[in-house]
Structure 1
Amino acid sequence: MGKPKTLDSFFKKKKNESHSEVNTNTPLATEIEALVTDKRTSKCPRLIQPEEMDATTFQRDSGLRPQIWEFPVNLQDEMQRAYINACPCQPILSEYPFLGEGNNRRRFQASWFNTYSTCLEYSESKNAIFCLQCYVFAKKSTGRLGSDAFVVKGFNNWKKASDKMNNSLIGHVGKDPNLPHKNAVKYCEDLMNQSRHIDKLVEKQTSQEIENNRLRLKASVDSVQWLAFQACAFRGHDEKPDSKNQGNFIELIKLLATYNDDVSGLVLENAPKNEKYTSPKIQKEILHIIANKMWDMIRKEIRDAKFCILIDETQHESKMEQMAIILRFVDKYSFIIERFFPVVHVNDTIAAILKKNICVILSCYNLQIENIRGQGYDGGSNMRNEWNGLQALFLRDCPYAYYVHYMAHKLQLALVAASRKAKHIHQFFIQLASIINIVGGSSKRHDELQAVKLLKLKV
Structure 2
Amino acid sequence: DNKPWLVYSPSKSGLFCVPCVLFAEAAGNNYLGSFVLSPCQQYGKLLGADGQITRHKLKNYHNDSILDAERFISQEKIENRKRLVPIIKTIILCGQNNIPLRGHRDDGYIRSLLRYRIDAGDSMLANHLSTASKTATYISKTTQNELIEIYGDLIREQILAEVKHATFFTIIGDETTDVNTIEQFTFCLRYLFENKVHEKFISFLPAEDRTGEGLARLILEEIKNLGLNPNFMVGQAYGGCSAMSGKFKGTQLTVMRGVGRQMYRPNAPAQTPEEYYRVNLFIPIMDHFIVSLTNRFSAHQWMAYHVSILVPSMIEHKSFNDLKDSITFYKAYLPSPNLIKEEFQLYKRK
TM-score, length basis structure 2: 0.54
Find the residue that maps to 1:266 and give its secondary structure: helix
- Residue 192 of structure 2 corresponds to residue 355 of structure 1: no
- Superposition map of 1:137-286 within 5 A: 202=69, 205-239=72-106, 246-258=107-119, 259-267=121-129, 270-286=131-147
Out of 239, 248, 258, the residue aligned to residue 387 of structure 1 is 248
Structure 1 contact 352–390 (Cα < 8 Å) conserved: yes
Match of 1:81 in 2: 28
TM-score, length basis structure 1: 0.42
Root-mean-square deviation (Å): 3.3
Deviates more, 1:397-406 or 1:346-355: 397-406
Match of 2:181 in 1: 319
CA distance in 2 between counterparts of 1:80 and 1:271 reads 34
- Residue 259 of structure 2 corresponds to residue 400 of structure 1: no
Unmatched runs of 5 consecutive residues or more in structure 1: 1-76, 85-135, 138-193, 240-245, 409-459
Structure 1 contact 234–247 (Cα < 8 Å) conserved: yes
CA distance in 2 between counterparts of 1:339 and 1:273 reads 38
| Structure (1 or 2) with the larger CA radius of gyration | 1
> Relative contact order, CA 8 A, sep 6+: which one is greater?
2
Out of 307, 313, 318, the residue aligned to residue 169 of structure 2 is 307
Q: How many pairs does the alignment contain?
A: 215
Q: 1:206 to 1:288 in 2, by over 3 A?
A: same
CA distance in 1 between counterparts of 2:27 and 2:78 reads 36
Deviates more, 1:225-234 or 1:345-354: 345-354
Find the residue that maps to 2:266 and give its secondary structure: strand
Q: 1:374 to 1:260 in 2, by over 3 A?
A: same
Cα displacement string for residues 91-119 of structure 1 (whole angstroms, at most 9, x for unaligned residues): xxxxxxxxxxxxxxxxxxxxxxxxxxxxx
1:329 partner letter:
Y
Q: Which contiguous aligned blocks of 4+ residues in structure 1 show a shift greater than 4 angstroms?
A: 197-205, 405-408
Q: 1:377 to 1:199 in 2, by over 3 A?
A: closer
Unmatched runs of 5 consecutive residues or more in structure 2: 1-23, 33-60, 271-350
Structure 1 contact 375–401 (Cα < 8 Å) conserved: no
CA distance in 2 between counterparts of 1:274 and 1:406 reads 55
Q: 1:316 to 1:207 in 2, by over 3 A?
A: same
Q: 1:336 to 1:80 in 2, by over 3 A?
A: closer
Higher helix share: 2
Find the residue that maps to 1:254 and give its secondary structure: helix
CA distance in 2 between counterparts of 1:208 and 1:301 reads 35
Cα displacement string for residues 124-166 of structure 1 (whole angstroms, at most 9, x for unaligned residues): xxxxxxxxxxxx89xxxxxxxxxxxxxxxxxxxxxxxxxxxxx
Q: 1:318 to 1:377 in 2, by over 3 A?
A: same
Q: 1:308 to 1:319 in 2, by over 3 A?
A: same
Structure 1 contact 310–375 (Cα < 8 Å) conserved: yes
Q: CA deviation at 1:201?
A: 6.3
Q: 1:309 to 1:203 in 2, by over 3 A?
A: closer
